[in-house]
Amino acid sequence: MDNGLATFLEILKYTIPALIMLIVTYMIVSRFLTEQTTRKQLALFHETQNITLPMRLQAYERLALYIERITPRSLLSRVYQKEMNVAVYQALLVQTIKSEFDHNLAQQIYVSRQVWDTVRGVKEQEINLINAIGQKMDPEAPAKELHAAIMEYVMTDSGEQPTEVALQIITDESRRVLSHGPQA
């Protein structure tokens, strides 16, 4: 037994330091690989930021432009033609708002849900305004009557226009993105 115990102790003398070295080496390599992975992820994040930030800012610009283009003051004069009647003018106004919205659909992937819902809501409010005023008028009347009625409503409405609210929301979020980066 003495001989077996001596052999066992001799084996332990070589095995224990080897196991300790294996554990220490594993911990060092594991920490190194974790740090390397973290560095690569951070580098990829910064690279992605440099690509997505300009795209997000462009989306805010395009949505702000869309909102500006569908404000009654801008839209009415841009679409108006003398020879149109109320029905044609109303349909063309609604179609213009919808087609410009469709043209900007892809922007929703770059902006927050709040901004996109606001833009969508403004589109609906502007269409509803045009339809509500247009339905009160004779469809065969000259388009200038619908033009005048919508402008009068906009000029006499004491509340904030939906387009002004939307522009403020878009501006606020774009400023937040500029100051905090794409994760904002």
pLDDT (tens digit per residue) in 68-103: 999 999 999 999 999 999 999 999 999 999 999 999
- The pLDDT of residue 180 is 73
pLDDT of residue 167 exceeding 80, the answer is yes
Tell me how far CA of residue 148 lies from CA of 51, 66, 73, 93, in angstroms: 46, 23, 11, 14
* Residues 120, 63 contacting (CB under 8 angstroms): no
Structure confidence by residue, pLDDT tens digits, 110-151: 999 999 999 999 999 999 999 999 999 999 999 999 999 999
Q: How many other CB atoms sit within 10 Å of the CB of residue 84?
A: 18
pLDDT category, 3, cuts 50, 70, 90?
confident
